[in-house]
Structure 1
């Protein structure tokens, strides 16, 4: 039987100074003054139409992503969060994350965002090499990246994250490891370390850069993993590493197949309707002009059919390194754990999964071959 999981809120602010050549997110280069007042008004109206989906739950976490949310003034972020709190209750220990880029704000504003209600920053550094930052189309340099991280650590946030990429154009093992060392020296409680991939509908897709070959990528990944562990960062998700007690609660809720409202341009939501024993996904109007002019912000709503729930759950949950409780699967999908028995047995025979009485646990090999596990559940 479906039960109500924790509830999060994702807020999308779509503008950035310029579009990065690798980015396939719903983001739009800034042209002139941003409609901050009007967009916050629209976000709060959007939330008002979705607030009934809370079904009595207080918000577990909020994530303000983009684009570059730090282009918005701290006063507007405060107005946004105050407006959200008027509509939905907050848990006492709510985590409220905002993405920020080093080249898009005066770093003294970090304290202002903290005062506005942000409890956690996620800073898009990507690299500490000026050469690599230039190739990635970033508007900050290595010194601004260092200053941003230092200011974040001084602004009394509960936590902050640094986003770091590897497998960059012409990147050597030495360069990749230097980025890790520089990031760790700034003592972020959380690191997102992920490989650059070339996505459709990006400049890099039409004009691909020269990336390291597979052998070089594997060396970077293997040695980077070892070094992050030595530095005290525990890998808890495919591309997320944290000091003990500093895992990102918002992202954990995503990967554990929790619920989240999505407001803002192109924002996605996933909601459990307990009384109807259904799961629905929502998508909001994508383009800022259409969104700002709308009265109804919903672009599309689809249902996660019962026979699709197991695979959707696993596609999310297998990103995490922790065991998969059988009770969690049953509560989040409304299906009996026995529905996974055959597929898990096949995965176990391949050395990908260990089956326990109350949980399934991926092996180190399974963590490397998640798609092979998922294949056991595809018709």
Structure 2
């Protein structure tokens, strides 16, 4: 089956933060001194220029500034990279441009500038409205700043806001989690990312783990929270994503529908379909900010498997046929509505017959279904998603 080019998104990584949170395993580094903003923006442009050919004529459907804390950059810097991206590749009409921001006062002062620069979706990292929990999580803001941040964002003109909120926090009861969620709902964000705290390797919590709620309490928190969100009109459309009025995250939908994305910035990852070679390429950039900035002024060139040259390249590999079913399903089955059946062949290059027997067995167990032309998990399959995915290994 010939591969078809899917939509193209752009991820931009900003690797600095005020303080590294003890649960964070992302590529983020404490900004002890001034951030080399001008040098980093210049490097991002160079990085994107090197990847320009990978767009293969497509324009960008969505952009996501992640980190780290992208809101540490000035509005002028954010605006400059958006100008560069539009000049180098181009934007689809009504492009979604999301920027992650922390609720600290320093970042709040910039919200109007971010909106004027072209950012039209703000993702605010609240995590909790409980000051004691925020302290345990190592956050640099408090409840009052969190509430103020949403108000400031609205006044700045943002009509598409996501709030990040955690549950299953140290010592958290069902009532505590409900109170957090109720406060978030009262702020009326268009989107909520509500997810359980997990302890990851290479984090401070992994070295000195806090005492988390027992499994029974975690299950009760999840069940009660989903009822509360549904009653408030939020559709649970992905494992930890909830939206009102169908205002889904278009950038994340592109990931889950096995679309393509370029990744620029220190440690950023990308995925690109190569129809002529009938291959899918994954590539990533060098991780440490210093090495990334050094690459911008050095002659070092990294050549990946397709001969694509980028001085910021950390590595690349091709997705083999044997790994494609799992890669596709790991994304597609996160969505409650699933993905159109034809996407499997179009975006993996494999005929559906390659997984037909596996799919049929899972369907017999009522874990997946083909309904309304979509491949999707059943409610039972969502509950045991890891077991479902193991079938594609």
Given the two structures, how large is their TM-score scaled by the length of structure 1?
0.98
Q: Is the 8 A contact 1:324 1:359 kept in 2?
A: yes
Shift of 1:311: 1.1
Residues of 2 paired with 1:106 and 1:297: CA distance? 29
**Structure 1 partner of 2:307:** none
Q: Is the 8 A contact 2:332 2:338 kept in 1?
A: no
Shift of 1:9: 0.3
**Structure 2 partner of 1:59:** 60
Secondary structure class of the residue paired with 1:63? strand
1:142-161 → structure 2 map (5 Å cutoff): 142-161=143-162
Shift of 1:357: 7.8
Equivalent of residue 367 in structure 2, options 342, 352, 355: 352
Equivalent of residue 298 in structure 1, options 296, 305, 313: 313
Residues of 2 paired with 1:123 and 1:262: CA distance? 21
**Structure 2 partner of 1:133:** 134
| Cα-to-partner distance string for 1:304-352 (whole Å, 9 max, x where unaligned) | 1122111100011111111332201111111111222111111112221
1:111-126 → structure 2 map (5 Å cutoff): 111-126=112-127
**Structure 1 partner of 2:76:** 75
**Structure 1 partner of 2:302:** none
**Structure 1 partner of 2:386:** 371
Q: 1:26 to 1:273 in 2, by over 3 A?
A: same
**Structure 1 partner of 2:220:** 219
Q: Is the 8 A contact 1:344 1:355 kept in 2?
A: no
Q: Is the 8 A contact 1:70 1:104 kept in 2?
A: no
Q: Is the 8 A contact 2:23 2:205 kept in 1?
A: yes
Residues of 2 paired with 1:91 and 1:212: CA distance? 45
1:170-185 → structure 2 map (5 Å cutoff): 170-185=171-186
| Cα-to-partner distance string for 1:46-83 (whole Å, 9 max, x where unaligned) | 00000101111010000000000000011111111111
Residues of 2 paired with 1:278 and 1:198: CA distance? 35
Secondary structure class of the residue paired with 1:48? helix
Equivalent of residue 334 in structure 2, options 319, 322, 326: 319
| Cα-to-partner distance string for 1:81-120 (whole Å, 9 max, x where unaligned) | 1111110110111000000001262423211100011010
Alignment pair present for 1:20 and 2:21: yes
**Structure 2 partner of 1:91:** 92
| Cα-to-partner distance string for 1:10-54 (whole Å, 9 max, x where unaligned) | 000000001000000000001111100000000000000001011
Q: Is the 8 A contact 2:333 2:376 kept in 1?
A: no
Q: Is the 8 A contact 1:60 1:91 kept in 2?
A: yes
RMSD: 1.1
Residues of 1 paired with 2:279 and 2:107: CA distance? 45
Q: Is the 8 A contact 1:74 1:113 kept in 2?
A: yes
Secondary structure class of the residue paired with 1:281? strand
Q: Is the 8 A contact 1:153 1:188 kept in 2?
A: no
Secondary structure class of the residue paired with 1:134? helix
Residues of 2 paired with 1:109 and 1:289: CA distance? 26
Shift of 1:356: 4.2
Secondary structure class of the residue paired with 2:335? coil
Residues of 1 paired with 2:338 and 2:97: CA distance? 26
> Deviation above 6 Å: which 4+ runs of structure 1?
none
Residues of 2 paired with 1:335 and 1:104: CA distance? 50
Residues of 2 paired with 1:98 and 1:341: CA distance? 40
Residues of 2 paired with 1:259 and 1:104: CA distance? 35
Any gaps of 5 or more consecutive residues in structure 2? 297-310
Aligned residue-pair number: 378
Secondary structure class of the residue paired with 1:275? coil
Shift of 1:158: 4.0
Q: Is the 8 A contact 2:168 2:221 kept in 1?
A: yes
Q: Is the 8 A contact 2:71 2:107 kept in 1?
A: no
Shift of 1:151: 1.3
Q: Is the 8 A contact 1:11 1:62 kept in 2?
A: yes
Q: Is the 8 A contact 1:283 1:301 kept in 2?
A: yes
Secondary structure class of the residue paired with 2:201? coil
Residues of 1 paired with 2:312 and 2:383: CA distance? 39
Residues of 2 paired with 1:233 and 1:91: CA distance? 28
Q: 1:71 to 1:357 in 2, by over 3 A?
A: closer
